[in-house]
Amino acid sequence: MKNRRTFLLVFLAVLIAAIYGTAVFAATPNKCIQCHTNDALMKSLHKPPVLPKSEGEG
Amino acid sequence: MYKGYVVDKALLDKDPHFKAGCVLCHAGNDGELSREKAHLGMLKKPSDNLRSCGVCHKKVSVNYAKSLHYTTIGQRTGVLPRFSEAELKTFDEKVFEKSCRSCHASCGDCHVKGAPIGGISIGLIAKHKFVKKDEGKTCAFCHGGRVYPEYTGDYGGAPDVHYQKGMLCMDCHKKAEFHGDGTAYKSKNEVPQRPACKNCHPNGKEAKMETQVTHRRHDGKVSCYGCHSGSAYRNCNDCHGGHAAADPGMILGRSPRDKKVLTTLRLIPTVRDTFAPAGIKMEHFDAVPNYWDTPAHNIKKRTDRTRKCDVCHVDRKNFLTKETMIQNGAKANDDLIFVPKAIKN
């Protein structure tokens, strides 16, 4: 009987953690896309590459 | 407008690739707004580890791991007969792994973002859309030194007739050729899926009887390119100069892979001192020629050669000779000289 109650408690705790965790994860904004979907910002951050003084490729 | 790393917001909801967020493939930290912190530990090219794509595209990624675009082993195969055993070891350690192998293409280079070539990248092909193909932004970027501009005519020669008809790379070079079939081929010449003119243009189907006869007469003796290459093409030394002088041109000679066949040859950039900086003398440099048979990508239905037999059989135009041969080249070059027979009346 005691074992059954412990199992139930653990199960409920895991269930709550899983549901709560998913909710937290879903609510966390993906900050990558805040910058990477912003044309003007991305353009302003762009630095032209410094070309190596090597031979051509292709 | 710069579009290097701008992602199309509309894709995020509809493309399953984005369902689990950026970090699933790119790692880094998607909870940070600071550029430095967000990019800490980020993978620029997640598909360099083929297992990233292999989670869902298992068969393709397993096969691709052995494909020539990924292994780049073709470059090693071409040059290895020039080395002694010790030299090959040095080449593998100092040159192949550090230089040739850096050119390998992984999934993303064709499907997401153009590969950086010489420090330049076009960025995302279509705002991070996973594209099936976009030859002008992918194939053309890596093969832009000779093949692609030769094909489109941008190089200055005549554009290929197939390009004029609206065909692009993947109309001839099929998916199976790129993704591989699970066999680790040593050279593109071993790949069974590689295109062949006869796949679409079999002998005997020509409209004119005269053409049928000409094709039959030259079958097995002259490659299609030998007569149908429409103009001068670029030789590797045109860009990789410094080793030897070379001008754009057409070179006809025996195929190094099949000496019975006359074909278009291309001067390759490997000369005696190419690997001297790595301490490789190339003990067997003379074993293989400086010219390889080349599928010129400037095909024309009608050329000077298809119109007049004299261009080859009397004038011997563009045939490799001792006089036109690269100076201080390999002794094996001599075996490629072909003197066409005069026509008997």
| pTM, rounded to two decimals | 0.85
* pLDDT beyond 80 at A18: no
Residues in chain B with CB shorter than 8 Å from the CB of A55 are 239-240, 242
Residues in chain A with CB shorter than 8 Å from the CB of B145 are 56-58
pLDDT over 90, % of chain B: 81
How large is the average pLDDT for residues B295-311? 96
Residue A5: the pLDDT is 79
Residue A24: the pLDDT is 45
The answer to which of B13-22, B140-149, B239-248, B306-315 has the lowest mean pLDDT is B239-248
Residues 6+ apart with CB under 8 A from A48: none
Residue B244: the pLDDT is 47
Of B21, B32, B145, the CB nearest to A57: B145
DSSP-assigned letters across all residues of B11-29: HHHH-GGGTT-THHHHBS-
Coil, helix or strand at residue A55: coil
Interface of B with A (CB under 8 A): 1-9, 12, 21-23, 26, 28, 30-33, 35, 38, 103, 117-121, 142-146, 239-240, 242
Residue A46: the pLDDT is 83
- Give the residue from B145, B154, B140, B137 showing the smallest Cα distance to B298: B154
Q: How confident is the model at residue A27 (pLDDT cuts 50, 70, 90)?
A: very low
Of B2, B28, B119, the CB nearest to A46: B2
Separation in Å, CA B113 to CA B39, B124, B301: 18, 4, 35
The answer to which of B44-58, B133-147, B163-177, B191-205 has the lowest mean pLDDT is B133-147
* pLDDT beyond 80 at B98: yes
Residue B12: the pLDDT is 93
Q: How confident is the model at residue B66 (pLDDT cuts 50, 70, 90)?
A: very high
Which residue matches tokens 């093409």? B233
Residue B238: the pLDDT is 67
* pLDDT beyond 50 at A26: no
Strand ranges (E), chain B: 251-255, 258-267, 291-293
How large is the average pLDDT for residues A45-56? 70
Q: How confident is the model at residue B242 (pLDDT cuts 50, 70, 90)?
A: low
A48 reaches B (C-beta below 8 A): no
Residue A58: the pLDDT is 47
Residue A37: the pLDDT is 94
How large is the average pLDDT for residues A24-46? 80
Which residue matches tokens 């095909």? B299
